[in-house]
Structure 1
Amino acid sequence: MSGLSHFVLRHGYLFLFAVVLVEQAGLPVPAVPVLLAMGALVGMGHFSLPTAVAVTVAACLASDLGWYHLGRRYGSSILRLVCRISLEPDSCVRRTEDVFARQGTRALLYAKFVPGLSTVVTPVAGLARLGQGRFLLWDAAGAVVWSATYLLIGYVFSAQIEQVAAGLRLFGARVVAAAVGGLALYVMWKLDQRRRFMRDLEIARIGPEELLARMQSGRGDVVVVDLRNALERGEDAAAVPGAIVLSPDELDERHHEIPRDRDVVLYCT
């Protein structure tokens, strides 16, 4: 039996609840290995599968409901706060709001399977003024699917999981070193991407005063495209007069509406 399985066996449902709660709160604590270990222990007869699912769902709802109310109260500001811990904060807010604008409550069914989406989609549900009852229903359904999937994988492949754990103990140092090295390279690549993005953005940016002056000059040499999605426009009713309202998903269908003979200014939050 692996060290993790021993630990889960010793602390049981309380440890499962704590790990899932902390992960869903946004801290970098992986819950999937714990779910797999719990599933393997269920297969050995140490724990109950329905109880393990119920404990996991309760932990998810406890954390998600908190994020939901924060999103409902503080709007996009709390979403930006959550996204600051992301290596892609510039796209995190927009990507999440776009997903919820397109998928609606269905996004809650699969969000927990997508790294980085689980924590940020719940405040977006609050921002979108989704009713608490509907939120709890869809979020609970997503938590059941997520937890049952990994618990059942651990249950079915309990013997294989133990074999993998034994192999990791044998080559543990090398595996950890390779994983840490790969993670470090990934982080460095993402940081370099972000640095290049911000540099290009600074070069291409136009200030509101300069834009206003050009629009009031009467030359008609600039057009503004409002790229905000429906959630952002609903939260902030302010708009640039004469702007073309166009979400990024509509570019392929409506690109002909953007004049080619004028400078184009893209407006988003």
Structure 2
Amino acid sequence: MPFALHFFLQHAYMILFLWVLVEQLGVPIPSTPILLAAGTLTATRQLALPAVIIVALAGSLISDSLWYWMGKRYGGLMVRLLCRLSFESTVCVRKTEEYFTRRGPASLLVSKFIPGLGTVAAPIAGQTGMSFRRFVFYDAGGILLWTLSVTLGGRFFGDILKRHPNALSWTGHFALGLFLLLFAGFLAWRFFKQRMFLAEIRMARIFPDELKTRIEEGDDVIIVDLRHPLDLLPDPRTLPGALRLTPDKLMAQLEQIPRDREVILFCTCPSEATAAKTALQLRRAGIQRVRPLYGGFDEWKKRGYPLVEGNADLALEYARG
């Protein structure tokens, strides 16, 4: 028996538990390959399918419960932290918050199947005030659906291998190396994608001290608060004169955006991701005078600069003067 396969069989349940636990804590090590492998081995009775399900459920539920309580205590800070770890901060915060807002607790049933949502859904549930009992009910259901679908897929593959025993031996020799190669490629692609995006937008940012000076001097700039409603729970205030619009609403009003005034966008995302992404979309639509605010709302607040109560329903017509 190949060493890699022998080692995995000797410690399979512990490896599976720790792997799922660590992934759900936010470390970007996908659990799908190892669950597929475990499911494959249940076909030869080298592992027990119920034990695989229970171990994966325990690892994921422990991690999710921890993030639930962290989200309940610290709110959006935990969501942004997890999005940083995911290498998908450019879309992670906005995508997960909008999905959870639309679906509510039911989003936990499918969160493990959606990239970027699986881990972040738990702190968002805590942030919204969902009861822990309700969270556990929906989260456990989602974990079971995810684990069963992946392990049964592996079980199906294992049944095929049982009919061709030589294929199982070949798989044992090469599976570990192939898995490590694919995993390294996955991480490299995510990292490269993130770096390219950040390099594109960093040259265009405006710093808080410059914006503060321009506001004090009465400079005719349009400031847009792109924060998601969930991000307003810890602090609903906004920058002086800022309009509160979601990216979708802003993009829907392209014709109303003055071309002779600079547009400043801010959010509470890692690396100003939502503001930067929206700025790029506006530029591609022909609006060139647009810049994301460095550090977003958090950096502005950290420096002690003025904040005012926000107006949620202002439209761009008011900015046109």
| TM interval, short-chain normalised | 0.7 to 0.9
Quote the residue 1:36 is aligned against: 36
Which range moves more in the overlay, 58-67 or 4-13? 4-13
Quote the residue 2:110 is aligned against: 110
Question: Residue type of the partner of 1:249?
Answer: D
Q: 1:225 to 1:10 in 2, by over 3 A?
A: same
Is 1:72 the counterpart of 2:75 in the alignment?
A: no
CA positional deviation for 1:138: 1.5
CA positional deviation for 1:37: 3.0
Question: Residue type of the partner of 2:25?
Answer: A
CA positional deviation for 1:131: 2.0
Quote the residue 2:227 is aligned against: 228
| Conservation of the 8 A alpha-carbon contact between 1:39 and 1:151 | yes
Distance in 1 separating the partners of 2:37 and 2:212: 60
Q: 1:164 to 1:226 in 2, by over 3 A?
A: farther
Q: Deviations over 1:191-249 (max 9, x none)?
A: 5414513xx33x33233444344445456x22111110111122221113442221123
CA positional deviation for 1:177: 8.4
| Conservation of the 8 A alpha-carbon contact between 1:73 and 1:127 | yes
Quote the residue 1:133 is aligned against: 133
Q: Deviations over 1:103-145 (max 9, x none)?
A: 3323322222234432222222222222212211211111011
Distance in 2 separating the partners of 1:105 and 1:244: 30
- Scaled by the length of structure 1, the TM-score of the pair is 0.79
| Conservation of the 8 A alpha-carbon contact between 2:28 and 2:85 | no
- Alignment coverage as a number of residue pairs: 265
Distance in 2 separating the partners of 1:239 and 1:142: 36
Quote the residue 1:250 is aligned against: 249
| Conservation of the 8 A alpha-carbon contact between 2:221 and 2:264 | yes
Quote the residue 1:85 is aligned against: 85
Distance in 1 separating the partners of 2:175 and 2:60: 31
CA positional deviation for 1:65: 0.2
Q: Deviations over 1:150-194 (max 9, x none)?
A: 111122221445766544455579847864774575266335414
Distance in 1 separating the partners of 2:23 and 2:167: 24
Distance in 1 separating the partners of 2:6 and 2:30: 17
Q: 1:167 to 1:126 in 2, by over 3 A?
A: same
Identity %: 40
- Scaled by the length of structure 2, the TM-score of the pair is 0.68
Q: 1:2 to 1:34 in 2, by over 3 A?
A: farther
Question: Residue type of the partner of 2:37?
Answer: A
Which ranges in structure 1 are unaligned for 5 or more consecutive residues? none
Distance in 1 separating the partners of 2:168 and 2:232: 50
Distance in 1 separating the partners of 2:35 and 2:187: 26
Question: Residue type of the partner of 2:247?
Answer: P
| Conservation of the 8 A alpha-carbon contact between 1:8 and 1:34 | no
Distance in 2 separating the partners of 1:215 and 1:134: 46
Q: 1:30 to 1:217 in 2, by over 3 A?
A: closer
Residue from 192, 196, 209 that aligns with 2:199: 196
Which range moves more in the overlay, 142-151 or 12-21? 12-21
Q: 1:147 to 1:178 in 2, by over 3 A?
A: closer
Q: Which runs of 4+ in 1 moved over 6 A?
A: none
CA RMSD of aligned residues (A): 3.4
Quote the residue 1:207 is aligned against: 207
| Conservation of the 8 A alpha-carbon contact between 1:8 and 1:16 | no
Q: 1:7 to 1:110 in 2, by over 3 A?
A: farther
